[in-house]
Amino acid sequence: MASPQENRPGEEEDEEEELDDSSYKTVKDAVLFAIDVSPTMLERPPASDDKKAERDSPTSAALRCAYELMQQRIISNPKDMMGILLYGTERTDLKDGDNTFQHCYLLSDLDVPSAQDVKQLRDLIENEEEVSDLLKPAKEPASIATVLFCANQIFTTKAPNFTSRRLFLVTDNDNPATNRQDKDTAVTRARDLYDLGCSIDLFPISRRDHGFDRSKFYDDLVYPTSPSDPDAPALPSTATKVAKSGDGISLLKQLLSSINSKSAPRRAQFSVPLEIGPGLRIGVKGYIMIKRQEHVKSCYVWVGGEKVQIASASTTHMADDTARVVEKGEVRKAYKFGGDAITFTTEEFAQIRGCFGDPIIRIVGFKPLDCCPIWANTNKSTFIYPSETDYVGSTRVFSALQQKLLKSKKMGVAWFIPRRNATPVIAAVIPGAEQVDENGEQSMPPGLWLVPLPYADDLRQPPEQVSSLRTTDNLTDLLSKVVENLQLPKGVYDPSKYPNPDLQWFYKILQAMALEEEVPEDPDDKTIPKYKQINKRCAQYLEDFGVAFDSEFKALTAGKSKTLTTGRKRVKASTADDDDDDEDGVKPKPARKKVKTEVKKETASQTPSMTDQEMASINDRGNISKQKVDVLKEFLGARGLDTKGKKLDLVDRVQVYLDRKGL
């Protein structure tokens, strides 16, 4: 367990686990981009009329990637550092007045990015002139040894105790050493970096007339394992794609995809034995592969100085009665019970939770995969992958299990305690097959997934259903046509097609405010359905369904008792309401109060209901507050507005609505 990486400041394992799982230990990551600036790296692809044609030189493509990555990391890893180093430039500048590292230019220092860093990078990409001034290659290129030692110094001073430190090297030169001595120095410097605990990730680019042969030089510099993730072997070098232009997809896209796949260092959340049967344990590590990314919480800032500053908070505990400051050791935990407190000693507290044993994934047995229905989901899944650290032979046994489960469509059922004193979970152990995308890149790794299952305590009953109307075969068939014609591409949900609109909007606004720029107006929300396409593909089927639905509904309800008819009346009332509502047709998103499948508009107005105009005239006469709450609620509800609150609130809301419509 005592791997050298496990005892970093602020990362100690908390023995007494708190209840939420968000207190996972975090690993800080620092990425330094080193981008080669040479005549070939600056060469632009030949001009073309094709809009999709390549425009960027390799260097500027790399800068764009760095820009994208920087913005992305501000969202996903707000505490992590990033820096950009250009090498081979005519200018030498490391922002410290030292010229030791010839032809190295530190574009942005290794640090948590600031809004200014983002702006600087964006200006550089957008402003061609500045680029040509800065991106002027030196007559003689920088030696790789110098670049590596420069990176060594930057990592040592700026990110001394980061667990993960990575150098991203972007170059098209597969043999930068001109003589034996240069190469040896570079090899030594690369080993220094490795010994320092930093890894080199190479992003090779092939030239049009010259492929990139890693074995010439870089295989002597790059190590197969990462110092921060020692026992999970990296993919073999061949799996790292060599990006090249004119290959259908642009160089920029290829680079982005390979850099994205490395954007976050792999972080194991736990390391526990997987007990397949009594006396048969193997080692596995758990990884969180899917987790809801939230935006940063608001904090307090101090605006008293020239520059806005984040105020850092420190918490002291105080006794409520005397306001005496209390040391951490004095604090007792107690449960409230019957208006009183039931206390336990610290040791007893540990025993209460500790009675379920040590961390483990213990397989209790196996079941068919359909014993883990989707409705039983309770929480996100955890990915597990074998590790040889504690048990030699883990990988082959794990592989046998994964392959067997895949083949037989089975799952394991396991008792799962991820960390000491953590809440025991019963989890389905589901096999995951490796998936690769059209470019041959892995899109989902092979392994096993732990899907937490509900306990009896976690199951809720659905509310009772009053009506028992059931579909007919005819209706089901008609609606099935709609389902069949609206399949997502390949019939799968691909998360990469759906950025979180709320998160993106939040950071877009925040970035604009940080840079004191114009705030954008229109959010880009990819989750909004493609209405046009839906209409094109399904209008006819929906029409058929609508007609059939109306007649079958009449037939199904015809023989029913009177109580049902009254029920229907109410429904109809809201129907009419909605139709009126449609007439004004201005609202962006009307919400209807009924099942509506009709194509020809049901113009027959039944019970008269309130239109915007009617409500406006009531309002003008000052009679709005005389309306019944039900009427107001219905009016608001039909327009997709909130119907909660006191009558005053409702009146307010109606007036705001009318106001906005200019009525």
Partner 1 sequence: MASKEATVYIVDLGRSMGKKNHGRSKTNLEWAMEYVWEKITTTVSTNRKTAMMGVVGFRTDETDVDGIVEKDEYPNIQVFSRPKQFLLPDIRILQEQIKPSSTNDGDILGALVVAIQMINDATTGKTGNPLKFERRIIMVTDGQGPIDADDLDGIVSKLKQDGIEITLLGVDFDDPESGYKEEDKDSDKEEHEAVLKTLIEDSGGNFGTLAVAIEQLAIPRLKETRPTPSYRGTLTLGNNVEYEATLTIDVERYPCTMLAKPPTASSFVVRTDLGSAPGASTQSSATVLGDGEHTNGDLSAVRNQRAYQVDNPEEPGTKMNVGMEELERGYEYGRTAVHISEADSNIVKLETSPALELIGFVAKKKFDRYLPLGRTNFIVPQKTNDKSQLALNCFVHALFETECYAVARLVSKQDKPPAIVLLVPYLEGEVEALVDVELPFEEDMRRYKFPPLDKKYTISGKVILEHRDLPNRDLMSAMSDYVDAMDLSNFGVDDDGNQTEYMKFEDTFSPILHRINQIIRWRATTNTYDKLPDPPQILTKYSVPPADLMAKAEHHLDALKQAGDVKRVPPKEKGRGKRRREDRDKPLSGLDVDELLGNPKKVKIDSQNLIPSFKQALAATDDLDAIQAAADNMGSNIKTYISASVGDSGYGRALEAIRVMRDELTELEEPEIYNVFIRDLKRDVLDGKLKGDRREMWWRIKGSRYGLIDRKRSFASDVTEEEAAEFYKK
Known catalytic residues?
Answer: 25
Instruction: Provide, rounded to whole angstroms, the least separation between the CB of residue 329 and partner 1.
Output: 10
Q: Please say which residue, 19 or 47, places its beta carbon nearer to partner 1.
A: 19
Q: Which stretch binds partner 1 (CB under 8 A): 30-38, 83-91, 204-212, 489-497?
A: 489-497
Distance of CA 103 to the CA centre of its chain: 38
Q: Please say which residue, 228 or 381, places its beta carbon nearer to partner 1.
A: 381
Examine residue 662 and tell whether it contacts partner 1 (CB under 8 A). no
Examine residue 380 and tell whether it contacts partner 1 (CB under 8 A). yes
Q: Pseudo-torsion of CA 58, 62, 67, 69, nearest 10°?
A: 140
Instruction: Provide, rounded to whole angstroms, the least separation between the CB of residue 633 and partner 1.
Output: 12
Site for partner 1 in 32-71 (CB under 8 A): none
Examine residue 341 and tell whether it contacts partner 1 (CB under 8 A). yes
Facing residues of 430 across strands?
449
Instruction: Provide, rounded to whole angstroms, the least separation between the CB of residue 267 and partner 1.
Output: 8
Site for partner 1 in 141-170 (CB under 8 A): 149, 152-153, 156-157, 160-161
Dihedral angle sign, alpha carbons of residues 636, 642, 648, 651: negative
Q: What would the x/- binding string for partner 1 be over residues 299 to 338, using CB under 8 A?
A: xxxxxxxxxxxxxxxxxxxxxxxx-x-x---xxxxxxxxx
Q: Please say which residue, 136 or 601, places its beta carbon nearer to partner 1.
A: 601
Examine residue 629 and tell whether it contacts partner 1 (CB under 8 A). no
Other CB atoms within 10 Å distance of the CB of residue 213: 14
Under 8 Å between Cβ of 494 and 568? no
Examine residue 221 and tell whether it contacts partner 1 (CB under 8 A). yes
- Which of 502, 517, 620, 652 binds partner 1 (CB under 8 A)? It is 502
Under 8 Å between Cβ of 576 and 638? no
Q: Please say which residue, 207 or 592, places its beta carbon nearer to partner 1.
A: 592
- Which of 442, 551, 607, 625 binds partner 1 (CB under 8 A)? It is 442
Examine residue 343 and tell whether it contacts partner 1 (CB under 8 A). yes
Q: Angle CA(444)–CA(447)–CA(451) in degrees, nearest 5?
A: 95
- The upper half-sphere exposure of residue 549, i.e. CA atoms within 13 Å in the direction of its Cβ, equals 14
Site for partner 1 in 587-626 (CB under 8 A): 587-597, 599, 601
DSSP sequence for 144-176: HHHHHHHHHHHHHHHSTT-SEEEEEEEES-S--
Q: Please say which residue, 42 or 200, places its beta carbon nearer to partner 1.
A: 200
Examine residue 562 and tell whether it contacts partner 1 (CB under 8 A). no
**What Å distances lie between residue 429 and 178, 269, 406, 566, CA to CA?**
54, 17, 11, 51
Q: Please say which residue, 50 or 321, places its beta carbon nearer to partner 1.
A: 321
Under 8 Å between Cβ of 436 and 392? no
What whole-number distance in Å separates Cα of residue 242 and Cα of residue 339? Answer: 68
Phi (first) and psi of residue 245, to 5 degrees: -90, 165
- Which of 125, 249, 289, 651 binds partner 1 (CB under 8 A)? It is 289
Examine residue 248 and tell whether it contacts partner 1 (CB under 8 A). no
Under 8 Å between Cβ of 240 and 350? no
Site for partner 1 in 531-560 (CB under 8 A): 531, 534-535, 538-540, 542-543, 545-546, 549, 552-553, 556-557
Instruction: Provide, rounded to whole angstroms, the least separation between the CB of residue 42 and partner 1.
Output: 29
Helix axes 58-76, 251-260, angle to 10 degrees: 30
Examine residue 409 and tell whether it contacts partner 1 (CB under 8 A). no
What whole-number distance in Å separates Cα of residue 73 and Cα of residue 54? Answer: 26
Facing residues of 229 across strands?
226
Instruction: Provide, rounded to whole angstroms, the least separation between the CB of residue 523 and partner 1.
Output: 6
- Which of 109, 117, 201, 634 binds partner 1 (CB under 8 A)? It is 117
